[in-house]
Each structure stands twice: as C-alpha cells, then as structure tokens.
Amino acid sequence: MFKEDYDSQLDRFKESFLIEAARCGRTEEVSSLIDLNANPNWSPSESEDTPLHAAIRNNHIDVATILIAHGSDVSRKTKGGNTSLHLASITGNEEMVALLLSANSSSSCLGDDNQASQVLTCVNDIGQTPFDLAFENGFFALGQTLQNLSNNTEERNSDLSDIVEDDDEIRNRFLAHSNNVETTNKGPIGDFIEHVDQSSLYCDEDILKAEAWYNQLQKKKHGHDEIIERLQEEITFLRQTETTYREAAKDAEEAILILEAKCKELEIEKNDFYKNIDQCLHQGSLSKMSIDELESIEEKLRVILDLVITAKTNKLSQQAENRSCVICQEEPKTVLLMPCRHLCVCNACSKNHHLQKCPLCRNEITERITVFS
C-alpha cells in the first residue's frame, strides 16, 4: 500500500469510530475524534446515517450538541429521506427537537429567512413532515407544536413586511401561539418558544451554551491518546496482513513451480515405462532381461493392474447404483414419473400410495409409465 492509501484508511477509521461513539453516547470520544479532524458529516453512503443521525436515534443530546457546534448538517437526509428533525420527532425527544430548532434558528439569523419553514415542512420519501411523524408515533403535543410553528413561519415568510415588525409584535405572536397548545409551555419545546420570545428570534444564547458545553467537555477529555493508539494498532494490523498475504502468494508460486516440474518428470517416466513394456512384448526381449529387471517390470505391472481393477469396480458400482431404484436401492428403475420424466423408481415402489411426489424434484406425480430396457 502507498502512504495515501493508509491516510485514507486512517480517515475512514476515525469517521467510522465517530459514528459508533455518537451511537453509544460517548461524548469524550466524540470530542477527541473531532479534535483529530474527523468529519462530523461523514457517512458510509449518501443514504446512511451521519454521526448526528446516530446520536438522535439513540437520544444522546449531549453528543448532538457537540456535533452541531462543530458543523453537523441538521438538514442532511438519511435513509427514507428523513432529516434530523424527522428522527427526533419519531423518538418524541422534545429536548432534541428544541436543540435542532435552535440550530436552525441560528442559521436563519445569519440570513436564510426561509430555512426554518423548509425544515419544519420538509417531507421524507413518503411525503411525511416532522409533525406527521410525531402524530403517527403518539406524540400529539409535540406534533401540534411543530405544526403550529410551521404555520406561523409560513405566515411570516408570505409577507416580507413582517420581517421588520417590532419586538412587541413578535413577542405577542409567540405568546399567543404558546397559549393555543396545551402543555406546550411544559417541557423543552415550551422552553424553546419562551426562548424565541425572549431573544426576539435570535439564538445567540443557544450558540454560547453549546460552545460553553463543548469547552467543558474539552477540559474533561482524556481519551485522545487511547484513540490514537487504537488507530495505530489498526494500521499495524493492516501492514502485517499485507506482508502475510505477500509471503503466502510467494510460497504458493514456488509450490506451483515445484509441482509443475514434478508432473513433467512423472510424465517422462510414464512414457519411458510404456515404451519399455511395448518393446518387451513385441520384440521378445524379456528372455534377455535379468531377474531383477523382470521383477521390477512385474511390480510395476501389478500396481497398474490394481489401479485398473479399482477403477473398473468403481465404474461398475456406479452403473449399478444409477440403475437401482432411489427408494429401495435394490430393484432396477423401471417406472417413468410424469410430468417431470424422471426414471428413478422400481415397479414395486411406484405402487406405494405414499409416493405422491417425485423423489428427485418433488413435483406432483400425475402419471406412472412402466418402461422396459
């Protein structure tokens, strides 16, 4: 392998470890891998989970916070066309939904006024929005809240003049929204709406919280060296495996050359032996040979004769077996089964009322025809 291959393999190890760490909720390991430049948006394929998807599926909000703070794409779709908000709605985790909405609001504050509406109304491959999935999985309060947020966002985007409305009007709209949904102000989603009201749609406070949480995890991290050691072990193993395969291939090539040479020697020896036997039988030279030469020829002929007898016996046994009924193994096959046309049973076995299917292909028997050889 070249150095580039090892570097690429090392990156894949880091990113696959990152997905596994996110799935298991190992925050310190996630922080260490990101510090080693693991890509937080990597996945084995476009339709498979990123580290953020893995964290959301398993309700690891601390891990999700770290990944979002380091650039994980909350709008990235996974299998079935589901975004991060779709997955959080399936699990009913209100804290996770609030985190994702905050991340989206932060992005919206930077200039994309339609992004919040797009995230809330985005549909998966079968046309379901996040609030559809919340309703489907029994999280009715969460689904109602997301639906109302989507409606309010669409109303705001429909009229560009709404963008410049004053803080009091924004506050009144969100307070009215929170009063319309029962239990909305109880739990993380209610906290998110209250936060939006207090910050007038700006989420700088959430960004600061995420950064503070990340810095705190960075101070506690201790798995950096362990991860590097694991990666080095994997590289060492790959190099040893490559060396082993190369040595095995070299040994195999040498063995092939030795066998080919041996086969040539045996072929020459066989031809010489047959030539000598032919001369002895046709030229009457046996009488001129010594006792030792005659005994040598006799021994070789005995070996050849034994091989011939064994081969002949096997052939006869195989022929007898091929002619014998596959059921009783004694009588010859004399009955042709239809419609599969297998000649495989004797006359006696064909009359057994339990025989309704061909013993060979298991097709239903519709007719039995006796044949004579």
Measure the CA–CA gap between 20 and 118, rounded to whole angstroms.
29
Q: Give the model's pLDDT for residue 178.
A: 42
Decide: 74 and 52 in contact? Cβ < 8 Å. yes
- pLDDT tens-digit readout, 220-278: 555 666 777 787 888 888 888 888 989 999 999 999 999 999 999 988 887 877 777 77
Which of 86-90, 161-165, 316-320 ranks highest by mean pLDDT?
86-90
Report the percentage of the chain scoring pLDDT > 90: 21
Measure the CA–CA gap between 168 and 92, rounded to whole angstroms.
32
Q: Give the model's pLDDT for residue 356.
A: 93
Decide: 94 and 188 in contact? Cβ < 8 Å. yes
List the one residue out of 180, 74, 66 whose CA is nearest residue 122.
Answer: 74
**334 CB neighbour count, 10 Å cutoff:** 19
Domain limits, the chain: 3-222, 289-323, 335-370
Crossing angle of helices 291-323 and 224-283, in 10° steps, is 110
Q: How much is the mean pLDDT over the chain?
A: 78
- pLDDT tens-digit readout, 61-88: 999 999 998 888 888 888 888 998 999 9
| Block residue for tokens 């995420």 | 210
Q: Give the model's pLDDT for residue 362.
A: 92
Q: How far is CA 350 from the centre of its chain?
A: 50
Angstrom distances, CA of residue 361 to CA of 277, 326, 339, 344: 50, 12, 11, 11
* HSE (side-chain half, CA atoms, 13 Å) at 89: 29
| Block residue for tokens 């070249």 | 2
Decide: 66 and 214 in contact? Cβ < 8 Å. yes
* CA-CA-CA-CA dihedral for 70, 74, 78, 80, to nearest 10: 170
DSSP 45-78: STTSPPHHHHHHHTT-HHHHHHHHHTT--TT---
Architecture of domain 3-222: Alpha Horseshoe (1.25)
Q: Give the model's pLDDT for residue 177.
A: 43
Decide: 38 and 17 in contact? Cβ < 8 Å. yes
Both tokens of 150, joined, read 């989507």
Please state the length of the chain. 373
pTM of full prediction above 0.85: no
Decide: 53 and 78 in contact? Cβ < 8 Å. yes
Measure the CA–CA gap between 286 and 189, rounded to whole angstroms.
108
